[in-house]
Structure 1
Amino acid sequence: MPARVHALVVTRSGESARTQLTRTLDAVRAQTLVPDAVTIVVTGSISAIRGDGFPAIVEGVVETRPGLSYADALQAAYPRVSEGRAVWLLAQDTVPEPDALELLAGALERSPSAAIAAPKLTDEKHHEIVSLGVTMTSLGRSVELAAGELDQGQHDGAEDALSADIRGMLVRADVVQELRPDPALAGADEGLDLGVRARLAGRRVVLVPPAQVAVRPDGPAALPQRESQRAWATRLAQLHRRLSYAPVVAVPLHWLTLLPLALWRSAGHLIGKRPASVPAEWGAAFTEMLRFGAVARSRAAIAATRSAGWAAIAPLRITRGELHRNLDDGYGSEGGAVSELRFFSGGGAWAVLAALVVSVASFTTLLAWPGMGGGALLPLHETVSALWADAAWGLRGLGPHTVGPADPFAAVIAVLGSLWPGWPSRAMVLLWLLALPLAVLGGWFAATRVTDRSGLRILGGVAWALAPTFLTALVQGRPAAVILHLLLPWAVHAAVVAHRSWGAAGAASLLIAASLACAPSIAPAVIALWAVALILFILRGRIHGSARLIWTMIPAVAMFAPLVWAQLRHGSAVALLADPGSIWPQGPQATADAAGRGALATGFPTMDLAGWASVGGAPLALVPLLLAPLAVLALIAAVAPRWRAGIVLLAVAVTGIGTSFLVAGVVVSFFHGDSAAIWPGSGLSLAWIGLVGAALVALDTALTLHWLRSAAATLAGLALAVCALPALTAEHQERAVMSAAAAQTLPALVAAEADIEAGTLVLTPRDDGALATDVVWGPGRTLGAQTTLLSTATEPRDDGLALLAVDLLSARDYDAAKSLADRGISFVLLAPGGSDKGEALHSAAQTSIEQRTGFVKAGSTDRGVLWRIEGSVAARPGLDDAQQAAARLVVLLQLIAVIVALLLSIPTRASRRAARAQSRIVGRAPEEPVVISRRRDALAQADAEARELASIAGEGTGVVVPAVAGSDTQIEEDTQIEEDTQIEEAASSEEREAASAGERGEPAPSASDDQEDRT
């Protein structure tokens, strides 16, 4: 036994620290083996903790500057330790049991090879093990051998370990000077480092589980509480140990890999849903790269005492398999979910398949189309690389020399076209064919956030697919509106639980960015809803949830920021709301007058009421009544048991309708002199998701009678189906504007001879006698090449092109061909006129061009008369150095935001487990019973388990456990069985506990923990 013991106690200044220090000193003074001396180290002012003075056992108090780490503070006390004394390392929050020091000293006496004796660290009530033994992986990661477990003595036989937590360690007297905590570890892994150095010195660390020391998580020797600070401290300690332990020849190699490893681990942190660790990762890497002196001192300290090789460490490292078993909480792929998905068993798959049949029947002719045209549809580029080039900042595919950011919608088109890389335009045809089943699928999944009932989920999917605004967009050929409607339910499905996990936040951020890219006009509504949710979370103090909500808008900001900057410089803020893609001025839509607003208020974006105006004898005044059943159900949600969710969904519906009202009369886009108002159907899509969601809330909670719920759902579904009939039959009745389109919008000669940089001047005679000019670069106009920088421009951006076109058709004698060639234009296309004035202008223009030298007529096509410029044509002006630097910076920042969101959205085993531990339903009222659908086999299994529990309980206690009744009864798939009160309370308790743990950033309770609690 050591003859003498010197206790070192590190404390912070402050009232709470003084209270904790008093408890610690009382516990030290009450030891069965009382230390000979106690030295207190204060990181701060001594006067803040002195109080009524210290007991006589305290031989001195050392004051240090605030903010020092535990190891740094101990350095100030070591000079006061006399030779021949063992050192007991304590802190203000360590309260040892009365026999702790005696047990530790006895362990050192029994084991002469032991340099350190470590106690069992428990929480204040001694219910849970905080730490008992520490080891590390082959890469140097520290791992607790026993932590976070209920203390039932299950580890009291443990003795040998690589190391332990530094709190409560007793260091043998003859190694006190050699085994001092390393200040360079910055507050983490000090105990592990002491154990490693003891092993390398031929000594070892012995665990003494009977010696217990109660600790708190906020003490000076504990890891920081904030996630980012904890990540920085642990990673810096790991990197420092790596450079300190490595052979001399390997140190430079390790140093060179610090930054590449930081990049690799950052991706791992994002996939693991730990974004707060990413800045800490880079901070630790840069810090360690500059600490040459600290690494040299640590290596010198190890070399001074080392007498054994690293083979002495190897048996005590944890293997990969042991690590997986150590971290495995027993939660497999089954169980834990408060609500079940049941996509196949609940009929969701059949609903999607039925929608596919309806879609093929409605759009049969599309099966033979190579591409789509008409309305706002245009072909896509023939190569994936060209698609992504249109999505980047730089030269635009239209206009003489238009340089600037791409519309975010171009990235959506690039993603869509990349799904069919061999023929990107075919992807748009497939999108139209699969639009209905994809809408049902999205609506079904969005409905899982509202109801557990399979029938209502199917109704939600069908109602979303039969939305009048969606069907109108399909018939009128509006790709942006169609894609928006397909994305919205998925965005809602992820966004409503984005506060729960980073995985949901990452997925929601991408879906929100894509949705806003398709419909910038709904951005004010989305931002308003997001801001309200964020304010509520901040007021409730849910910091983690607030951070995740903030992230949901970051990718959208990154994608739109360049366009916002460009429009504010050269356009207007209102132009940011313009519809992306091709402009279709002739598109019929609801206007800003009373009749138009009436149509919008009833859910129809056009005055033809989703095609009913073309149905002979149809009473148009009665058509809106077909949506009345759904609207009435939505209003009932405001007084349903789940009224909070109902009111929120109704607010979403009102916001969407208000958005459609505001944008209906806003004109910001122009094409060849014609203006086009913003499409109001995007706002109606947002309103429709609120309307359908509110109706499902009412059906799920307000209509408790089964027959009444079934009748109301059937009535609403049939009314929607009747309302959709004209739109679903429009293609067969030749009322749809879509048509088969070739791969290019320019003559085949241009597509065959022109490369991506060749320009074509397109002259289009208008019906009013004017001439519209345009420049198309490459083989033709494509959907991804469209840019709102041109469509919303209020000032000419043609660099004199209009004047050149006028001179080309005038009698002025000049070299027109050379002027065009100097601009990089290789072809001139004179489009046919559409009226008498247009035809007259077309004939005059053709005559004028043919009389000029330098133009070789290539022929007449259905797209117009084509001429080719003779001689050499200058290359298209490229970007200067400043523009190239700006382009690279913009693309890099956007890629970073998107990649981070993608990595966050990748599901992991832990994220799936956390999701299953919480209710899939959002906004479930506390008084609602937990409704769980059970199949016959599940009931049989529950019956068997209940009988087994009954037999076990009856053997020793005489308690009678009733068996589960009804296991032999035939149960329909969508029958709902309400569990008894005890199961309801248990499920609700587990749900609240999991949700609370998720907000604190802690793992959800595992199945093994639950079993121990019940035991």
Structure 2
Amino acid sequence: MPARIHAVIVVRPDGATPAAFHLKRTLAALDAQSRAVDAVTVVVCGGDERLTGLAADAGAGVVVAPASTKYGAAVARAPIAEADALWLLTQDTAPEPEALTALAGALELSPSVALVAPKLVRWDDRSEIVSLGVGMTRFGRSVEAADGELDQGQHDGRDDAMGADVRGMLVRRDAWERLGGLDPALHGADEGLDLAVRARLAGGRVSLVPAALVATAGDGVAGTLNPSSPQRVRRRAYARRAAQLHRRLAYAPLITVPLHWLSLLPLALWASIVHIFRKDPGLIAVEWAASVVTAVRLVSLARARRRIARTRAVSWSQLAPLRVTRAQERERLDEDPDAGVGGHVRSELRFFAGGGMWLVLGALVVSVSSFTALLAWPVLGGGALQPLQSTVAQLWADAAFGARAVGLDTVGPADPFAAIVALLGSLASWEPSRAVVALWVLALPLAALGGWFAATRVTDRSVLRIMGGAVWALAPTFVVALTQGRPAAVIAHLLLPWLFYAGSVAHRSWSAAGAASLLLVPVIAAAPTLAPALLVLWFVIIVLAAVLRAGQGIMRVIWVIVPTLVIAAPLVWHSVAAGSGWGLLADPGVTWSGPQVGADAAGRALLVAGIPTTDLAGWTSILPDGPTWWVPLLSAPLALLALVAPLTVRWAAGLAMLGVTALGVATAFGAVGVAVAFAQSTTVALWPGAGLSLAWLGAAGGALVALDTGLAPRLAAVRGAVAVVATLAIAVLAMPALTSAVRGTSMLELGTASTLPAFVAAEGRDDPDVGTIVLTPQADGALSARVVWGGSETLGGQSTIVNTRTEPSESDVEVAEIAVDLVTAAADDVVGRLAGYGVEFVLLAPADQPESDAARSMRLTAQTSLDQRETLDSVGDTVKGGLWRVTDEVAGRVAAPAGTAGIAAAIAASQLLVVAVALLLSLPTAASRRAARRTPRIVGPHWKEGR
């Protein structure tokens, strides 16, 4: 055995556990060694008197070092000149009684052995291995050979490895001095691996001694931190990544060092993308910090390379057999797919076996029966529906910052809803308007599918999941939106259950957070009135994560709102700067004043029942003279079940669902009767149905909670009956709307490819700069004027910044003056002014039917004036109205202000970047799927009774 062994214990009082607690056990363990240590030196970083007193009482020498001293520098302060071997310990490494005997015996076996390393086990559980050998990949990544495994002797036959953890390592003093000790640039990670690599290059051997057990708490004095908190995970990742990059530069051939150095920042960018895909965005800052620090520490790099060059006696090729291969790395880093957390293994989804597929197929049959005529329609019209642009390029042009498709010279941000329309139209790129028809036909089965999946977050009972899907698909506000032709409301209702499905578990994983962040964007874009309620829910979840989960997962929840903020920022900025912030709540798309409840007591009572229209969701058309007082009561079973939910075993989930319902009802109450947009000369109230969709989500979820756990075991048999009764009641409530198309009371109609005459549509199909001024007589004798660019007004071409202006802009005044001059025979040169703005056509559209006397008078006066103008050529009467063409030379459309293209590019780049990040986060990986299988599908505590 070596004649004299000197143990060096480095103590730094900045760990998670008081250093004195660990040091007492370590000193006691040294005193209990079967082979006594010849000398002990305790290096106290920071000069704590209690720690120095403990060391002195144990008979150890004490060296005081500055508090910031790293492990390698602290060991170098110990007086080891008379020792033959150096035992590297820390305050939290307590060796077992036979550890030194086994280590010294292995070191003495052969003079070629430069250092030996023990088996590190957990401080509080010696049956779990912390480290037993460390390997290294070709690019310098360190790979632990056995960390986290239960010690069943499976590795006791190993005695050779590339390197080992520095804690507990026994090193020959001559080798230690020849190698120059530990590399101080490694920042607490891979010091032992680097020392072992340099020892092998110097011609020495490295041996593992599995029989020598050393317990370690992982408090970070040496080696890597125990990842017991998110902060420690980031610190550990930084230390490992910085060490890997430093060793990559230190070990590389000199000729390739500049290339490696130049690749540091590009690799950091690539690694950032990989971290996003692997659902570890918190490591992006760590990656960049490690890369930048490594890039600037050239002095440390030069010192490390000189140390290697001075002692190297063998070639690097001799270490190649010890490198970790890609296959070995994947095998080691791959997690056990069957390992559960807390003993939980997620149950099967049972979409087919549980009846989910039959529900969707049934909803498809009902949809086809209700909207049979739509199957032959190329364009859907009526209500707030309009055709889509004819090409995908024009669809996405409407979604970009720039000149708007309505208004004389309006330049500004697009509505986020335009991007949804563009995405929808792109699915039928050959004829985009057919995508809206397909959406209407598939709306009911898609709603049933979304409702079924949302129900899986509440219950695992098949019958209740079917109830959830059916109730969601038959919601009065949804079927009314379908029959009235409200595309934004339909899209919001279809996406809300998926937002609940992903958002309710966003705190668990980055995949769910990424999916929720992508879903929140179109939900807010289609239903801006939901923004306040969803913001409240987001804030509540953050508070709960901070209080109940000690902040765990809070960054995932915070991320959920980031894409929405980035996408909405241009429109918000423009609207607030223009003094029309309230206009942000306007319903997107076509501004249409359709039938809905009023702000009186009767209207609010219908909202409480989930009904957004005064015709009781169509029942007054079936029973025009019969009693209809009972219709709102059809929602009562669902409401009563939701109210019972907080009284069940799952009271927390019940309260949450009731809170969602309250927020939805409050949103509907706030929306009804409030008008922030204008359709010609008419103010248009906000649609309260979006708030009712949110309220319906909460009520349906609460009802499922009540039925899932609210019945005593002896009454469990009636669960299915109650679910059927509640679902049938909602089906009866939805029946008039679902049969309205068959009965001829639906507002849906066969649409046209353009809202403008065919002559204009042909001109503007490929030229979006073809301008048309549309004049529409009003019922009170006034005249409405608007400018449309391209071949048609479109669903995606509508603009909130135009439809919600409360004060006329200069271009609005100009359009009004031109319109008045056009219908006034005495006005001269008005057509020239029109041509100067690039407007080529004048359309005198028909007034709303039935046409009033004042509107007829205005129409005839305007027609006479337009016919008399020599610079207007009458194209003729069309179904869209009378059309004239400007015969003067028409100038090009007014150019956008300088810098508009740059602003548009910057906005598009930032929005695409955040969407790409969210998309990468949402994509599942093998690891995220395994993690999901180890967490319950249902949110919150749930009943364990059989299904």
Hey, what's the Cα distance between the residues in 2 that align with 1:219 and 1:812?
90
Asked if residue 363 in structure 1 is aligned to residue 371 in structure 2, the reply is yes
Hey, what's the Cα distance between the residues in 2 that align with 1:56 and 1:604?
80
Asked if residue 454 in structure 1 is aligned to residue 444 in structure 2, the reply is no
Hey, what's the Cα distance between the residues in 2 that align with 1:602 and 1:776?
40
Q: Does the CA-based 8 Å contact 1:446-1:492 persist in structure 2?
A: yes
Asked if residue 929 in structure 1 is aligned to residue 944 in structure 2, the reply is yes
Q: Where does residue 7 of structure 2 map in the other structure? A: 7
Q: Deviations over 1:376-435 (max 9, x none)?
A: 111122222322232233332222222222222222222222222222211111110000
Question: TM-score w.r.t. structure 2 length?
Answer: 0.93
Q: Where does residue 296 of structure 1 map in the other structure? A: 302
Structure 2 counterpart SS, 1:775: strand
Residues 453-462 or 320-329, more deviating: 320-329
Q: Where does residue 154 of structure 1 map in the other structure? A: 154
Hey, what's the Cα distance between the residues in 1 that align with 2:794 and 2:619?
32
Q: Deviations over 1:485-510 (max 9, x none)?
A: 11111111112222222211211222
Q: Where does residue 196 of structure 2 map in the other structure? A: 195
Hey, what's the Cα distance between the residues in 2 that align with 1:51 and 1:651?
59
Asked if residue 443 in structure 1 is aligned to residue 451 in structure 2, the reply is yes
Hey, what's the Cα distance between the residues in 2 that align with 1:89 and 1:872?
91
Count the aligned residue pairs. 926
Q: Does the CA-based 8 Å contact 2:56-2:62 persist in structure 1?
A: no
Q: Does the CA-based 8 Å contact 1:10-1:74 persist in structure 2?
A: yes
Asked if residue 112 in structure 1 is aligned to residue 111 in structure 2, the reply is yes
Give the Å deviation of 1:670: 0.7
Give the Å deviation of 1:208: 0.8
Structure 2 counterpart SS, 1:543: coil
Asked if residue 433 in structure 1 is aligned to residue 441 in structure 2, the reply is yes
Hey, what's the Cα distance between the residues in 2 that align with 1:204 and 1:815?
98
Q: Where does residue 121 of structure 1 map in the other structure? A: 120
Asked if residue 723 in structure 1 is aligned to residue 733 in structure 2, the reply is yes
Q: Does the CA-based 8 Å contact 2:202-2:311 persist in structure 1?
A: yes
Structure 2 counterpart SS, 1:346: coil
Give the Å deviation of 1:370: 1.0
Of residues 20, 23, 45 in structure 2, which corresponds to 1:21? 23
Q: Where does residue 819 of structure 1 map in the other structure? A: 833
Hey, what's the Cα distance between the residues in 1 that align with 2:641 and 2:827?
73
User: Residue 544 and residue 876 in structure 1: after superposition, are their counterparts in 2 closer, same or farther (change >3 A)?
Assistant: farther
Of residues 251, 264, 267 in structure 1, which corresponds to 2:270? 264
Q: Where does residue 598 of structure 1 map in the other structure? A: 605
Map 1:408-557 onto structure 2 (within 5 A).
Answer: 408-557=416-565
Q: Where does residue 319 of structure 1 map in the other structure? A: 325
The letter of the residue matching 2:288 is: W
Hey, what's the Cα distance between the residues in 2 that align with 1:7 and 1:333?
40
Hey, what's the Cα distance between the residues in 2 that align with 1:812 and 1:72?
96
Q: Does the CA-based 8 Å contact 2:132-2:145 persist in structure 1?
A: yes
Hey, what's the Cα distance between the residues in 1 that align with 2:792 and 2:498?
34
- Alpha-carbon RMSD across the aligned residues, in angstroms, is 2.4
Hey, what's the Cα distance between the residues in 2 that align with 1:743 and 1:248?
68
Q: Does the CA-based 8 Å contact 2:408-2:787 persist in structure 1?
A: yes
Q: Does the CA-based 8 Å contact 1:351-1:440 persist in structure 2?
A: yes
User: Residue 294 and residue 816 in structure 1: after superposition, are their counterparts in 2 closer, same or farther (change >3 A)?
Assistant: farther
Q: Where does residue 935 of structure 1 map in the other structure? A: none
User: Residue 336 and residue 736 in structure 1: after superposition, are their counterparts in 2 closer, same or farther (change >3 A)?
Assistant: same
Map 1:44-193 onto structure 2 (within 5 A).
Answer: 44-47=46-49, 49-51=51-53, 54-55=56-57, 58-66=60-68, 68-75=69-76, 77=77, 80-82=79-81, 85-124=84-123, 125-177=125-177, 178-193=179-194
Give the Å deviation of 1:83: 7.1
Give the Å deviation of 1:52: 5.5
Hey, what's the Cα distance between the residues in 1 that align with 2:553 and 2:820?
60
The letter of the residue matching 1:418 is: S
User: Residue 614 and residue 299 in structure 1: after superposition, are their counterparts in 2 closer, same or farther (change >3 A)?
Assistant: same
Q: Where does residue 946 of structure 1 map in the other structure? A: none
Give the Å deviation of 1:546: 2.3
Give the Å deviation of 1:798: 5.0
Map 1:390-401 onto structure 2 (within 5 A).
Answer: 390-401=398-409
Q: Deviations over 1:868-904 (max 9, x none)?
A: 3446544434444554444333333322322222111
Hey, what's the Cα distance between the residues in 2 that align with 1:40 and 1:387?
72
Asked if residue 895 in structure 1 is aligned to residue 896 in structure 2, the reply is no
Give the Å deviation of 1:108: 2.0
Q: Which runs of 5+ in 2 are unaligned?
A: none
Q: Deviations over 1:202-238 (max 9, x none)?
A: 3332111111111112231142442222222222222
User: Residue 183 and residue 816 in structure 1: after superposition, are their counterparts in 2 closer, same or farther (change >3 A)?
Assistant: farther
Q: Does the CA-based 8 Å contact 1:571-1:792 persist in structure 2?
A: no
Residues 464-473 or 517-526, more deviating: 517-526
Q: Which runs of 5+ in 1 are unaligned?
A: 932-975, 977-1015
Asked if residue 219 in structure 1 is aligned to residue 220 in structure 2, the reply is yes
Give the Å deviation of 1:132: 0.7
Asked if residue 375 in structure 1 is aligned to residue 383 in structure 2, the reply is yes
Of residues 735, 757, 777 in structure 2, which corresponds to 1:765? 777
The letter of the residue matching 1:889 is: A
Structure 2 counterpart SS, 1:313: helix
Q: Deviations over 1:775-828 (max 9, x none)?
A: 222222111122211111101135222223323333455433442333233333
Q: Deviations over 1:143-192 (max 9, x none)?
A: 11001112222211111001111111222222213152222222222222
Q: Where does residue 960 of structure 1 map in the other structure? A: none
Hey, what's the Cα distance between the residues in 2 that align with 1:385 and 1:285?
41
Structure 2 counterpart SS, 1:614: helix
Give the Å deviation of 1:483: 0.7
Hey, what's the Cα distance between the residues in 1 that align with 2:791 and 2:84?
87
Q: Deviations over 1:828-872 (max 9, x none)?
A: 323233423333323333333344454444443222233334465
Q: Does the CA-based 8 Å contact 2:395-2:425 persist in structure 1?
A: yes
Hey, what's the Cα distance between the residues in 1 that align with 2:768 and 2:296?
48
Residues 828-837 or 719-728, more deviating: 828-837
Give the Å deviation of 1:581: 1.1
The letter of the residue matching 1:428 is: V
Q: Deviations over 1:893-933 (max 9, x none)?
A: 322322222111111222222222222222334xx3253xx
The letter of the residue matching 2:833 is: S
Residues 736-745 or 704-713, more deviating: 704-713
Give the Å deviation of 1:687: 0.8
Q: Does the CA-based 8 Å contact 1:13-1:45 persist in structure 2?
A: no
Give the Å deviation of 1:522: 1.5
User: Residue 775 and residue 38 in structure 1: after superposition, are their counterparts in 2 closer, same or farther (change >3 A)?
Assistant: farther
Q: Does the CA-based 8 Å contact 2:344-2:936 persist in structure 1?
A: no
User: Residue 264 and residue 858 in structure 1: after superposition, are their counterparts in 2 closer, same or farther (change >3 A)?
Assistant: farther
Hey, what's the Cα distance between the residues in 2 that align with 1:189 and 1:871?
80
User: Residue 566 and residue 156 in structure 1: after superposition, are their counterparts in 2 closer, same or farther (change >3 A)?
Assistant: same
Hey, what's the Cα distance between the residues in 2 that align with 1:232 and 1:601?
54
The letter of the residue matching 2:844 is: L
The letter of the residue matching 2:45 is: T
Map 1:228-267 onto structure 2 (within 5 A).
Answer: 228-267=234-273
User: Residue 431 and residue 209 in structure 1: after superposition, are their counterparts in 2 closer, same or farther (change >3 A)?
Assistant: same
Q: Does the CA-based 8 Å contact 2:641-2:702 persist in structure 1?
A: yes
Q: Deviations over 1:42-93 (max 9, x none)?
A: 3334446323562575444131243x44345445x26x44276433222111
Q: Does the CA-based 8 Å contact 1:817-1:853 persist in structure 2?
A: no
Give the Å deviation of 1:345: 0.7
Give the Å deviation of 1:693: 1.3
User: Residue 201 and residue 647 in structure 1: after superposition, are their counterparts in 2 closer, same or farther (change >3 A)?
Assistant: same
The letter of the residue matching 1:727 is: A
Hey, what's the Cα distance between the residues in 2 that align with 1:791 and 1:564?
15
User: Residue 735 and residue 234 in structure 1: after superposition, are their counterparts in 2 closer, same or farther (change >3 A)?
Assistant: same
Q: Percent identity?
A: 54
User: Residue 56 and residue 725 in structure 1: after superposition, are their counterparts in 2 closer, same or farther (change >3 A)?
Assistant: closer
Give the Å deviation of 1:297: 2.3
